[in-house]
Homo-oligomer: A and B are copies of this chain.
């Protein structure tokens, strides 16, 4: 690409947050135009990364939070023996790295599941900005708190659900997240493997595969490889026992 195209891209980027369709899910939520501009001024926009690219790894010094602009990411840990434990899947508008604030170092891998664009937010600058923009501070706390709630729901799911309920919950959750982002809630591609889904839900990959087959047989889904169509959303929802969960400061911590 020439200098010219570069300039255009930088220019397109300058107004990114204000125009970004993700703004209501993301950090700028609740900020007014001038404050959004201040926020934008600290954002680093790197070029998109390819499937398989590792964004950060355990032990990496924590410098920035990342927001996914397009694409998707999985976070996971790895045991000494080399097998992965998937912690989460992340869609556009979601923050990566929140757990690293705590001790100034990342504790897991983050890897792109497909071509992915990220907004990088240097944390020191973000924190500094928060002291002068109360609604940014509030939004930071809200996002952290949302993360805590989401994890508590996950814990509840793992503690009290069958394989069927877990997969149903996973699909309903994904569906809702896609909907909020303007994608079809009933027709989407899974960027991750059966293995990854199994690891995330605490199931063997064979179990995940069998469940997809069963859901299809029951007319709930139409599955073709990574492409999923939800045919009977209600039935899928009825599989979830209503986990309202909550949660704060469970063991191991402080």
Contact = CB atoms under 8 A, between A and B. Distances in A.
B254 A99 contact: no
A121 B101 CA distance: 22
Contacts of A253: 94, 146-147, 149-150, 177
List the 9 shortest-distance A-B pairs measured between CB atoms, nearest first.
Answer: A108-B246, A107-B246, A88-B250, A150-B253, A101-B145, A144-B144, A151-B151, A102-B145, A159-B202
Q: Which interface residue of A140, A154, A156 has the most chain B CB atoms within 10 A?
A: A154
Contact of A248 (B90, B138, B159, B241): B90
A142 interface: yes
Contacts of A90: 248-249
A116 interface: no
A245 B245 CA distance: 22
A49 interface: no
Nearest to A151: B151
Interface string A105-116: 011101000000
A98 B145 CA distance: 6
